[in-house]
Homo-oligomer: A and B are copies of this chain.
Amino acid sequence: MNGRLTIIGLGPGDDRFVTPEARDALASAEALYGYGPYLDRVPRRDGQARHSSGNRVEGARAEAALNHAAGGAHVAMVSGGDPGVFAMAAAVCGEIEAGPPEWRTLDIVVVPGITAMLAVAARAGAPLGHDFCAISLSDNLKPWDLIERRLDAAASGGFVIALYNPISKARPWQLGEAFKRLARHLSSSTPVIFGRAVGREDEAVTITTLDEAGDAKADMATLVIVGSPETRLITREGRAPLVYTPRTSAEASA
């Protein structure tokens, strides 16, 4: 049997986002690898080994799973959200490129999942209804001045901006600096959405403005969406507002 490594996205939160393709791939794997809290979301099955690891050892986790698959097994790597967005699929590819030639003979299958920005956007309305981008604020893997240049390019270019990895204990100031940087290009009333733990019991979605965003709470489970100059708020009595970005640019009628 040819070895196979399937990299599976569970989506955020609970099982409501787990696609049939992901469910079937989980059921057919001989062994599961993944960050502990993601593995904990997968029901235990008799005879299916589980290899849990921490959230800072992506390379070692990918290497272990590839070695296992190279022995002819069907192995699955479990990821939250979508495995291709700032997650394990790129880590696995990096290990394959640097690794032994036999890893290139494996079946590599990626199963997409609902990524956090789609789930958070859905809770708020349709903020990603027009051109948008996704930027990771983690400066562990790239220099901060590159992040600032991308924030400049995105905001001045009229993109809605989804910020992944906005904050952590080791990176406490980056999100605040990002808001200051974006304020060079965007008005203080630009809508900003904080979506925390969407799909979980402790879900919290906060809609604020760029001016006030620095005071809102964020943590590692938070995804932040910053509107473009065209993003709008629809107020509703007794309900949260709807935030959306029209499909038609205002410049289209100019």
Contacts and interface: CB of A to CB of B under 8 A. Distances in A.
A3 interface: no
A156 B24 CA distance: 40
A188 to B, nearest CB: 22
Contact of A18 (B20, B24, B135): B20
Nearest to A145: B251
Interface in A111-130: 111-115, 118-119, 121-123, 125-130
A71 interface: no
Contact of A248 (B18, B130, B132, B141): B141
Contacts of A245: 90
A16 B17 contact: no
B17 A141 contact: no
A239 to B, nearest CB: 8
Given A17-B19, A19-B19, A135 B125 contact: no
A21 interface: yes
Given A90-B130, A133-B131, A153-B154, A141 B232 contact: no
Nearest to A81: B118
Contact of A129 (B16, B84, B112, B153): B84
Contacts of A1: none
A104 B16 contact: no
Contacts of A214: none
Contacts of A94: 244, 246-247
Contact of A19 (B11, B87, B234): B11
Contact of A108 (B96, B133, B242): B242
A84 B126 contact: yes
Nearest to A149: B157
B104 A111 contact: no
Residue among A82, A118, A251 with most chain B CB within 10 A = A118
Interface string A183-214: 00000000000000000000000000000000
Nearest to A157: B153
A133 B134 CA distance: 6
Closest 4 CB pairs of A and B: A90-B129, A133-B133, A153-B157, A142-B249
